[in-house]
Amino acid sequence: MDNNLKHKRILVIGGTSGFGKQVSIQALQAGASVVVIGHNESRLTTAISDLRQFGSQISGQAFDASDQEKLAYFLTGTAKFDHIISMLGGAMGGGFLSASVAEIREAIEQKFFVNLEVARTVIPYLNDHGSLIFTGGTGGHPYDASGAIIGNQAIKTMVEGLAVEAAPKIRVNAVAPTWTPTGLWRGLSQNSLMENEAGMVAQIPLGRVSKPDEVASAYLFLMQNSFITGQVVNVDGGISVR
């Protein structure tokens, strides 16, 4: 089977910054045609402009992809894709007692249920032998990231289930990075960002945080290797085994 990404159609949901933008860059460099969905019109316009230097086959639309009806409407107006990547999912701090039930529910909703809706919506719009790749996460502990931990574990379980349900035509996998300074943390001050990074570096066996392009390469690997399904690839410097 041809594992080359040249001329393949790739949809990146949440591709205007961070990992999604880096995946788009690497996919364009590999000769793919990339469509990016972003929530923010201004950031999408900037991202598309930046991405054009890596390949001309880039386009995008701005809307809330967590809205199933909007995502379905978009998909009905375009050709099928070979690979679809979801970067959707939030982050949270706080344990089972220190965080509110509402915060925990929101984290699980953003991590798991939103992506479950994405899966149910997009799978009919994937070409045979295509793939769907989600984004989980590693690091953190039940006592300081309760909802996020549950959400990430649920992503793993969903990937395993979908891989069997969607086989043999569609593969389903996920990439699980640890904390990385990306647009997800744009609301933090520079001091808070540096404190977060220092705290993570102290826990990561490799002694540093990842670079977005290092994480992005895992998505490219999962797209190109046609004999991998039902797996979560941790790109976390070893924090998950410490």
Q: Is residue 182 part of a domain?
A: yes
Q: Is residue 113 part of a domain?
A: yes
Taking the model in full, what pTM does it have? 0.93
Helix axes 18-29, 212-224, angle to 10 degrees: 50
Q: Is residue 217 part of a domain?
A: yes
% of the chain exceeding 70 in pLDDT: 95
Q: How far apart are CA 146 and CA 68, in angstroms?
A: 26
Q: Is residue 77 part of a domain?
A: yes
| pLDDT for position 41 | 96
Q: Which residues contact 5 (CB under 8 A, 6 or more apart)?
A: 27, 30, 31, 32, 220, 223, 224
Q: Is residue 240 part of a domain?
A: no
Q: Is residue 47 part of a domain?
A: yes
Q: Residue 151: is its pLDDT beyond 80?
A: yes
Task: Supply the range of the domain harboring residue 42.
Answer: 9-235
Q: Is residue 3 part of a domain?
A: no
Contact by Cβ (8 Å): 181, 138: no
**Which CATH number covers residue 103?**
3.40.50.720
Q: How far apart are CA 192 and CA 198, in angstroms?
A: 10
Q: What is the mean pLDDT of the chain?
A: 93
pLDDT digits (tens, 9 = 90+) for 29-82: 999 999 999 999 999 999 999 999 999 999 999 999 999 999 999 999 999 999
Domain count, the chain: 1
| pLDDT for position 238 | 95
| pLDDT for position 1 | 44
| pLDDT for position 62 | 97
Q: Which tokens is 180 given?
A: 């990385």
Burial of residue 103, with CB atoms counted within 10 A of its CB: 0-12 exposed, 13-18 middle, 19 or more buried: middle
Burial of residue 135, with CB atoms counted within 10 A of its CB: 0-12 exposed, 13-18 middle, 19 or more buried: buried
Q: What is the radius of gyration, based on Cα positions, of the chain?
A: 17
Contact by Cβ (8 Å): 204, 196: no
pLDDT digits (tens, 9 = 90+) for 79-136: 999 999 999 998 888 999 999 999 999 999 999 999 999 999 999 999 999 999 999 9
| pLDDT for position 148 | 94
Q: Is residue 17 part of a domain?
A: yes
